[in-house]
Amino acid sequence: MTDRAATLLRTAAELAAYVPEQAPSAPRPERAVVMTMGALHEGHASLIRTARAVVGPAGQVVVTVFVNPLQFGEAADLDRYPRTLDADLALAGAAGGDVVFAPSVDEVYPGEEPQVRISAGPMGERLEGASRPGHFDGMLTVVAKLLHLTGPDLALYGQKDAQQLALIRRMVRDLNFPVEIVGVETAREPDGLALSSRNRFLDPHERHTALALSRALFAARDRLAAQQALHARALAGGASEDRAAGLTRLGEARLAADAQAVARARPDGGPAAVRAAARTILEDAAAQQPPLALDYVALVDPADFTEIPDDRTAGDAVLAVAARVGATRLIDNIPLTFGATT
């Protein structure tokens, strides 16, 4: 944390004219942008601190605060979204931000909503896109505009919004934006709940139920790790069904069961086993009071967010979950790697 104060800028003209103090002969400072919809919390602070570490003390860190109406399906959700600009300025400055760019809707969309928008394509119609039609088109449209307005060398986004991050990376690659996209690990509260501006809407009972999201993800991760550890033992020790059978004949039932588990361990634990471990936790939470209403739990390819088949034995994946607790909808995810044996 620092004592520097973030400068509030409201218009594109102010941002274009912004020149921080520096030596006349100094080279153009590297600029990083962290895009937010405000209501900043420790997760955003982590992004800002990472941006500051990447560009160094001589670089610029711009934090955008804009509640994008194109990303909300209902006006009530847009109106309900928290707006805490004074607190956002304090947090952004303390975390290392130089500028908070907080434009009005008219500044970003002069006159009316844009007629020309960026389409997220089929990847944007899955999971979050299926639950929130048009959300990712609106997200990519405003991200593209803010990238043009802020002109960064790199832009940082949290991995909690994994599908959003994947789509931004795809847009930047497909449309040749001259910017590096950096993903930052999901920030969590001490009890494991992923940090989100929406957490403030949970009462204590709802929050207890909501913890099932992170517990489901961790259970799936642990299931995969256990299976991969068994497979590593099988490779190292030459475990076989014959050894298990021999131990059974000797009356060593517990050792035989262990040997059989090692011998049958798949190298990846299997996508089906990972999904099942997560679903067990989520189904239990559906019976709690208040209940967790599951939207989806999906094991997907991080490149395009298509479902991973049960016979996948190697490669990266994202286990993603979305659910509603009371009136609050929450998302979370965790990256996984199949096929690791170390």
Tell me the one-letter amino acid at 61.
V
Q: Which residues are within 8 A (CB) of 132 and not within 5 positions of it... i.e. 6 or more apart?
A: 73
Active site residue 41: no
Nearest to 67 by CA among 138, 5, 134, 13: 138
Place of tokens 């209403």: 293
Q: Which two tokens stand for residue 21?
A: 């103090």
Q: Which residues are within 8 A (CB) of 284 and not within 5 positions of it... i.e. 6 or more apart?
A: 212
Alpha-helical regions (H) of 36-185: 42-55, 75-80, 85-95, 105-108, 128-131, 135-150, 162-174
Alpha-helical regions (H) of 188-323: 204-237, 241-249, 253-264, 271-286
Instruction: Report the DSSP beta bridge partners of residue 324.
Output: 293, 329
**Whether 210 contacts 288, CB under 8 Å:** no
For the chain, first and last CA: distance in Å? Answer: 37
Point out the catalytic residue in the list 41, 44, 135, 231.
44
Torsion angles phi and psi, residue 71, rounded to 5: -95, 5
Chain-centre distance for alpha carbon 56: 25
**Whether 15 contacts 149, CB under 8 Å:** yes
Is residue 33 within a helix (H) or strand (E), and if so which, with residue range?
strand 31-36
**Whether 18 contacts 9, CB under 8 Å:** yes
Report the chain's C-alpha Rg in angstroms. Answer: 24
Is residue 15 within a helix (H) or strand (E), and if so which, with residue range?
helix 12-17
Measure the CA–CA gap between 309 and 312, rounded to whole angstroms: 6
Query: Quick check: helix, strand or coil at residue 294?
Result: strand
- Catalytic site residues? 44
